[in-house]
Chains A and B, each alone.
Chain A
């Protein structure tokens, strides 16, 4: 069982609010990821990080921002939530490519966000 945590699990919030979705992992992985997934749909990579102070935008454009000040922590922030942000947000981290896991990604339980 991978040790990657996300809080909150569920969040219902009004339009215009600022929110931060938390993600932390205790595996010491350098690489971390945020995906957006609508129910029954594919995963879209929105942000990733190769280590502390490294953040990159993913394939799907997102109005969210991320930070990576500590290895174990990779929070995602929405400055002003809108109904179009309603989705599930999945955090993941991965083994180093040179390790036995060879880049296997491990996922947290997700945060289901609803913006009214």
Chain B
């Protein structure tokens, strides 16, 4: 069955540290890839997305993600985190399989950034 794995459930960093959150999926076909962020008390927001083209995509607030097709991965990165990046991060993969396209969600990674 198709699935999305986020390797780290909880991450704690100090401000200015670099961040990389792993995301792997299991599906051999064409996919669209997303990272969503949920700040405390706020609704889910789209952070960035990949459909095609340059595998390195840039999102809001200095985040970027790289699609590595051979590794079925779409890891999220930020060179220097801030306290305000404390949030829950979700990776999601849209399977482009005919008419019933399905968005598969990872379990989420809780990021806490200490000031």
User: Which A residues are within 8 Å of any B CB, using their own CB?
Assistant: 40-43, 45, 90, 92, 94, 97, 102-110
> Does A43 lie within 8 Å of B43, measured CB to CB?
no
User: Which B residues are within 8 Å of any A CB, using their own CB?
Assistant: 32, 34, 36, 42-46, 49, 51, 88, 90, 92, 94, 96, 101, 103, 105-108, 110
Which residues on the A side are within 8 Å of B49 (C-beta)? 102, 104
Compute the total of residue contacts between A and B using a CB distance below 8 Å. Answer: 46
Question: Contact partner of B90 among A42, A45, A103, A108, CB < 8 A?
Answer: A42
> Does B110 lie within 8 Å of A40, measured CB to CB?
yes
Which residues on the A side are within 8 Å of B96 (C-beta)? 97
Q: How far is the CA of A42 from the CA of B88 in the complex (A)?
A: 10
Instruction: Name B90's closest neighbour in chain A (CB-CB).
Output: A43
**Provided the pairs A43-B90, A108-B43, A109-B42 are in contact, do residues A103 and B107 lie with their beta carbons within 8 angstroms?**
no
Instruction: Name A4's closest neighbour in chain B (CB-CB).
Output: B43
CB proximity of A26 to chain B, nearest CB, Å: 16
